[in-house]
Chain A
Amino acid sequence: MRQSITPDSALGVIFALGGAAIFQQALTMQALPGMNVGPGLFPSIVGAGMALMGVALAIQGWIQRDIPEDDAPPLVTWFAVGVVVALGVTILAMPYLGFLIAGTIFSVVIILLSGGKWLSALIFSPIATAGIYYLFMSGFRVSLPRGILG
């Protein structure tokens, strides 16, 4: 079936708009008086290049719209979304709960998402989290958030 807009074309449009925004921002950066180059020169080249290549990708995707694609796995899977959500929640919760608690909960969630069993998740997660915590705290002197554990 002929697609009205292919994923490549959509990605090309996003890159083109992003490149145009970079270019526009770069033009607002003024050079210091007496200098022939300013902080915006290189970003403006990169932005223009990205906008140009974005347009090229959009056109290329449109020309190739009739080529059937290989049976690629779906982009949005429950597992991938689950990993992103779990990471996002952990980022927000870790400063309050601390690494030990947030990391353990995160690990349990990931094991279950990955098809692991409850028992192995509950046994493995606190051990792995504590092991990594003490490796970085004692071995590398990284001060990981302690949260409610003080």
Chain B
Amino acid sequence: MEAFALAAGLVFNVETLVTIFLAAVFGLFVGAIPGLTATMATALLVPITFYMAPIPAIAAIISCTAMAITAGDLPGTLLRIPGTPASAAYVEDSYRLAQKGQAGLAIGIGVVGSVLGGLFGFLFLLFTAPMLAKAALGFSSFEYFWLAVLGLSCAALISSGGLVKGALALLLGLFIAQVGMDPLTATPRFTFGNVELMGGISFIPIMIGMFAVSEVMRAGRRAMAEVPQINLKNPFEGTMGALWKYRKNQVRGSVIGSLLGALPGVGGDLAAWITYSLAKRTSKEPEKFGKGHPEGLVEAGATNNAALSASWIPAMVFGIPGDAVTAIAVGVLVMKGLDPGPTLMTIHPENFYAVMIVFAIANILMLPLGWVAAKSARWIFEVPRALLNATILLFCIVGSYSINNSMFGVGLMLGAGVVAYILEARMIAIAPIILGIVLGPLVESNFTTSMMIADGNLMGFFSRPVAAIFGIVTLLIWSLATYRTIRGLMAGPEQAIPDAEENSP
């Protein structure tokens, strides 16, 4: 109780509350603009959080992400351009509803459903995280090594390009993490005598380059879609009736979203596709799906934000992020000295509860801000893309420069942007690279420690029961994925196209 009171003090002050509000408005603006993503909003925000106290910094990330994901429903509903991969699952229904003159209902379901789903995910996180943390206190370097490798494996294997491309992205991230001084012996690695590389490569310019610069390069000259002429006098019209009618879908979407979101690498994107198809399969009116029916919208919308909250479980409990956004957040937590992991909940529980309170505030704030965003969508869509590009790139330059007050960071950002632009064109996902960079030091330090304890014997990695289970699961996942890829290639080139594409828009 004392920890909770301390946490309330950390959150309910002018600095944190103003930060939450401003980050939410920023996330809302970026998320609502077609072609700009929640990850990009978060990446652009990180350099600013560098100068904040720990709790406002993490509060900014949480509220910005939650709002950007919810605002991603706006271009989906009004322009048929999904703001996030998750909202692509139900974009047909929300767009058709808007075409029938029910844009308010579609946006209302998206916003209110997301708030309810997000709050459910928050409760799930609040109750499960401390329990898992107690169990995690008994973990040694063996368990942490396997857990990190398992999380990285899931992220790489589930990425859109398939096993080989996902693994290459992950290995590239792990390599970037090794540049600099070896933590054990202080031997310079891959620095080529460059003093700036001795301290290692900061993930911030890399992340800005990969998520912001490459995105501007890819979509920067694409013309903005036509501004819709849809009457949005009451953005939430009829929402409560629809949510009540489909309350079972709302609850099921929230539960499944929370469970799937907690799995590393899955996140809200895949979860929303799964629950949309589940809603269709179990519906009494499946023929109406994709033609402007609210049922799938309710279920997948709830899943979206429930998964977003739950995706913080592995990040907070074990310090192992499951997707790009939580990887960025873990990077910020580490940068701020709030080492994510079981000790966050045992030694400094006030910080954990403060983060929980921020989750609740960010979700509740979506209601008024979502309403305002829906009302002002027309103006947001009218912001000239040319001016937006210039502003984003200026922020990228300053953000990358400010990490070490050096142009070297800006050069890294440019290099990372070009690499990401090329890799994404060949369907090599960027998220595993960022996860590799963030988790690289953790994986290596636990691997080295375990090797020393086991005296170089690899069987030592399976000597403890929990470590053995994690290890066997990881090896099984890789074996199965390898088998399926080889079988696909042997069956013929057409069969070898990655399975993950089946789930993509």
Contacts and interface: CB of A to CB of B under 8 A. Distances in A.
Interface of A: 7-8, 11, 15, 19, 22, 25-26, 29, 32, 35-43, 46-47, 49-50, 53-54, 56-57, 60, 63-67, 72-73, 75, 77, 79-80, 83-84, 87-88, 90-91, 94-95, 99, 103, 106-107, 110-116, 120-121, 124-125, 128-129, 132, 136, 139-145
Nearest to A128: B391
Contact of B187 (A11, A29, A49, A120): A29
Interface in B382-408: 384-387, 389-391, 393-395, 397-398, 401-402, 405, 407
B500 to A, nearest CB: 14
Contacts of B398: 99, 132, 136, 142, 144
B175 A46 contact: yes
Contacts of A73: 218
B12 interface: no
B410 A110 contact: no
A65 B451 CA distance: 42
A94 B192 CA distance: 25
B216 A142 contact: no
Interface in B199-225: 213, 216-218, 220-221, 223
A32 B172 contact: no
Interface stretch (B112-120, B162-170, B243-251, B264-272): B162-170
A40 B168 CA distance: 20
Contacts of B459: none
B386 A79 contact: no
Interface residues of B, number: 66
Contact of A84 (B168, B390, B418, B444): B418
7 tightest A-B contacts by CB? Answer: A116-B386, A39-B182, A114-B386, A140-B51, A39-B187, A107-B390, A36-B456
Interface stretch (B126-134, B230-238, B488-496): B488-496
20 contacts: A29-B187, A36-B452, A43-B175, A43-B190, A46-B178, A53-B164, A56-B164, A60-B164, A90-B397, A94-B397, A95-B407, A110-B386, A111-B390, A112-B386, A113-B389, A121-B386, A125-B390, A132-B395, A140-B402, A141-B51
A22 to B, nearest CB: 6
Contacts of A43: 175, 178, 189-190
B217 A110 contact: no
B426 A83 contact: no
Contact of B217 (A84, A139, A141): A84
Interface of B: 48, 50-51, 164-165, 167-168, 171-172, 174-175, 178, 182, 184-185, 187, 189-190, 213, 216-218, 220-221, 223, 384-387, 389-391, 393-395, 397-398, 401-402, 405, 407, 410-411, 414, 417-418, 421-423, 425-426, 428, 443-444, 447-448, 451-452, 455-456, 485, 489, 493-494, 496-497
A87 B387 contact: no
Nearest to A7: B426
A91 B397 CA distance: 9
Given A25-B190, A79-B220, A140-B402, A111 B397 contact: no
A64 B394 contact: no
Given A46-B178, A84-B414, A79 B221 contact: yes
Given A49-B167, A144-B398, A114 B221 contact: yes
Nearest to B492: A63
Contacts of B221: 77, 79, 113-115
